[in-house]
Homo-oligomer: A and B are copies of this chain.
Amino acid sequence: MGQRVGYGRAATMGEVASAAGVSQSTVSRVVNGNPRVDPEVRRKVEREIRRLGYVPNMAARTLVTRRSDSVGVVIPEPASRIFGDPFFAQVLRGISGALNARRQRLVLLIAEDQEQERWLAPYLMAGHVDGIIMYSLHGDDPLPGELRQRGIQVVVGGLPPRGTRVSYVDTDNVGGAHAATSHLIRLGRKVVTTLAGPQDMIAGVDRLAGYREALRTAGLPADERLVAYGQFTRESGMSAMSELLARRPDLDAVFVASDLMASGALEVLRSAGRRVPRDVAVVGFDDSPIALMTDPPLTSVRQSPEVMGRELVELLNGHIEARDQVIRKVVLDTQLIVRGSCGGKPSTNA
Q: A-side interface residues toward B, CB under 8 Å?
A: 4-8, 10, 53, 55-60, 62-63, 68, 70, 73, 79, 82-84, 86, 89-90, 92-93, 96-97, 100, 105-110, 112, 116, 122-123, 125-128, 149-151, 234, 263, 267, 270, 289-290, 292-295
Residue from B7, B84, B109, B128 within 8 A of A289 (CB atoms): B84
Complex: chain B residue closest to A68, CB-CB = B59
Complex: chain B residue closest to A305, CB-CB = B83
Contact A5-B53, Cβ < 8 Å, known A93-B110, A125-B10, A293-B294: no
- Expressed in whole angstroms, the Cα–Cα distance for A131 and B70 within the complex equals 18
In the complex, are the beta carbons of B106 and A150 less than 8 A apart? no
Which residues from chain B contact A89 at a C-beta distance below 8 Å?
A: 82-83, 89
In the complex, are the beta carbons of A97 and B125 less than 8 A apart? no
- Expressed in whole angstroms, the Cα–Cα distance for A62 and B59 within the complex equals 6
In the complex, are the beta carbons of A128 and B58 less than 8 A apart? yes
In the complex, are the beta carbons of A96 and B110 less than 8 A apart? yes
Residue from B106, B125, B127, B267 within 8 A of A59 (CB atoms): B127
Residue from B6, B55, B112, B123 within 8 A of A97 (CB atoms): B112
Which residues from chain B contact A108 at a C-beta distance below 8 Å?
A: 73, 92, 96, 106-108
In the complex, are the beta carbons of B126 and A57 less than 8 A apart? yes
Query: Whole-angstrom distance from the CB of A204 to the nearest CB of chain B?
Result: 21
Complex: chain B residue closest to A79, CB-CB = B93
Complex: chain B residue closest to A8, CB-CB = B151
In the complex, are the beta carbons of A79 and B107 less than 8 A apart? no
- Expressed in whole angstroms, the Cα–Cα distance for A10 and B126 within the complex equals 8
Which residues from chain B contact A7 at a C-beta distance below 8 Å?
A: 151
6 sample A-B contacts, Cβ–Cβ < 8 Å, listed by A number:
A83-B93, A93-B110, A106-B107, A234-B293, A290-B290, A290-B293
- Expressed in whole angstroms, the Cα–Cα distance for A92 and B263 within the complex equals 25
Which residues from chain B contact A294 at a C-beta distance below 8 Å?
A: 293
Query: Whole-angstrom distance from the CB of A64 to the nearest CB of chain B?
Result: 9
In the complex, are the beta carbons of A125 and B293 less than 8 A apart? no
- Expressed in whole angstroms, the Cα–Cα distance for A84 and B7 within the complex equals 38
- Expressed in whole angstroms, the Cα–Cα distance for A84 and B292 within the complex equals 12
Residue from B57, B63, B86, B107 within 8 A of A60 (CB atoms): B63
Query: Whole-angstrom distance from the CB of A102 to the nearest CB of chain B?
Result: 13
Query: Whole-angstrom distance from the CB of A149 to the nearest CB of chain B?
Result: 6
Complex: chain B residue closest to A111, CB-CB = B100
Query: Whole-angstrom distance from the CB of A338 to the nearest CB of chain B?
Result: 19
In the complex, are the beta carbons of B79 and A126 less than 8 A apart? no
- Expressed in whole angstroms, the Cα–Cα distance for A108 and B93 within the complex equals 11
Which residues from chain B contact A62 at a C-beta distance below 8 Å?
A: 59
Contact A10-B127, Cβ < 8 Å, known A93-B110, A107-B106, A150-B5: yes
- Expressed in whole angstroms, the Cα–Cα distance for A234 and B86 within the complex equals 15
Most buried by B among A6, A73, A234, A295: A295
Contact A126-B56, Cβ < 8 Å, known A110-B93, A151-B6: yes
Query: Whole-angstrom distance from the CB of A304 to the nearest CB of chain B?
Result: 14
Q: What 5 A-B pairs come out closest when comparing CB atoms?
A: A59-B62, A7-B151, A83-B89, A59-B63, A96-B110
